[in-house]
Structure 1
Amino acid sequence: MVTVGVLALQGAVREHEAVLAGLGCHTRRVRRTDDLDGLAGLVIPGGESTAIARLARGSGLLGAVRARIDAGMPALGTCAGLILLADEVADPAALAGLPTVGGLDVTVRRNAFGGQLASGEWDVDLTVPATTDGQLASGTGTGADPTDGRMRGVFIRAPRIERVGPGVEVLAVRDGEPVAVRQGPVVACTFHPELVPDATLHRLWLAGADLHDTPSNSPVAPS
């Protein structure tokens, strides 16, 4: 079994751990730079991007994460994790002077849809064609019904992806807008896939990064 880290400064740490455990991964909480040693991949969870950045300030942790990603370590960023991975934040004032990770060629806008009243749970549409055996055309398992082509996500004060770089693949859209993207072994999304009993995105990331052989049709309910 591979060991996947979950950045554990703030946010939905336990929920990601539950999904990963259900998919057969060992997990390790990452709070210091040496916690990154030996990891096959890292999840940067949703929460508050400014809180995570403040807690990481002075530790060198986010810079160490970037160095590992540049060296080929797969990463999955959800909601706040997407913001921290983005090369450009359209409203940078809140993160001014704070460390981020970067490395994902997208522009995002924080809290782009408003506050809690604009939050909710929706299906999103996969944009990579699924084949009849339940795999994505790129060879990545979706974990969803191949005739469905959808996955479920919870959007909480969600960011918006305003620009996608030429080397970034859009994996899913909602109302025509990109909500999940992939650049090499890095996957990021605007929503919280760990809060619903649908492990599609985690399974897609694990299989696409060649971290683990995950079954193609067994949803995992986070505890």
Structure 2
Amino acid sequence: MSATAGSSPVGVLDLQGGVQEHLDHLRRLGVPGRPVKRAAELEGLAGLIVPGGESTCLSRLLTIFDLREPIEQAYRGGLKLWGTCAGAILLARENLGETPYFGLIDIAVSRNAFGSQLESFNRAALVPAVAREPVPLTFIRAPKILRVGSGVRVLLQLDDYIAAAEDERILVTVFHPELTPSLAFHRYFARKCGLNPTGTDDAGLDPDWTPLSWTRFSSHA
């Protein structure tokens, strides 16, 4: 049984950032995806991805589009959330030196912890809860998770910081899985949402993926 058979879709917040890249990864797993720009588009979702971008800009757009309270209400109603990079900053309960936005997961983050855009990098790491093999990771002006609270599980620790964590209903990653050929984290989140995506627990490297694969869906068709 594939995730498309009678499944609720996974939404991707469509205000800024890697929206189509996330939707492309979901489609490769047979998971129905939906761009979300209005409160009504939250209806019936199994999960919502808050993508990377620029956290201050995203917070302002969430206010302009009147989405903050509807997302919080949907979360209280059972919606699962995944924040990547800027999305993780918005979901964090503590944002060092700044006011938190949603504050829904008990983690502390340091924004732009690696410095400027020039400090962006790629690496691979083993994330046992997500895949049996190392997965590629792309960091772009990434934050660091500096601590997690009670009820939050560390999925990936790198050097002096936490790169991925989760609680019962929220996943956060400081890197960008949608910018790699790996489907592993999208598969993991789909399962967290109660869906049944295609594939096995390997690194999920799709040989047909390219950095421009998402462009075929850029019209939201």
Partner of 2:71: 65
How far the C-alpha of 1:186 sits from its partner, in A, is 1.2
Provide structure 1 residue ranges, at least 5 long, that are not aligned to the other structure.
Answer: 129-135, 137-141
Q: Secondary structure at the match of 1:18?
A: helix
Provide structure 2 residue ranges, at least 5 long, that are not aligned to the other structure.
Answer: 214-221
Give runs of ≥4 in structure 1 deviating > 4 Å: none
C-alpha distance 102-212 of structure 1, shift in aligned 2 (>3 A):
farther
Partner of 1:75: 81
How far the C-alpha of 1:75 sits from its partner, in A, is 1.2
Partner of 1:55: 61
Is the 8 Å Cα contact of residues 125 and 174 (structure 1) preserved in structure 2?
A: no
How far the C-alpha of 1:101 sits from its partner, in A, is 2.3
Instruction: Give the counterpart of 1:42 among 48, 73, 92.
Output: 48
Is the 8 Å Cα contact of residues 147 and 162 (structure 2) preserved in structure 1?
A: no
How far the C-alpha of 1:176 sits from its partner, in A, is 5.2
- Partner Cα separation in structure 1 for residue 62 and residue 149 of structure 2: 27
Partner of 1:184: 168
Partner of 2:146: 162
1:1-223 matches, cutoff 5 A: 1=4, 2=7, 3-92=9-98, 100-126=101-127, 128=128, 136=129, 142=130, 144=131, 146=132, 148=133, 150-175=134-159, 177-216=161-200, 217=202, 218-220=204-206, 221=209, 223=213
TM-score, with length taken from structure 2? 0.85
- Partner Cα separation in structure 2 for residue 120 and residue 26 of structure 1: 30
- Partner Cα separation in structure 2 for residue 32 and residue 119 of structure 1: 32
How far the C-alpha of 1:212 sits from its partner, in A, is 2.3
Is the 8 Å Cα contact of residues 207 and 214 (structure 1) preserved in structure 2?
A: no
- Partner Cα separation in structure 2 for residue 165 and residue 38 of structure 1: 30
TM-score, with length taken from structure 1? 0.84
Aligned length, in residue pairs: 201
Using the aligned pairs only, state the percent identity.
Answer: 40
Is the 8 Å Cα contact of residues 185 and 205 (structure 1) preserved in structure 2?
A: no
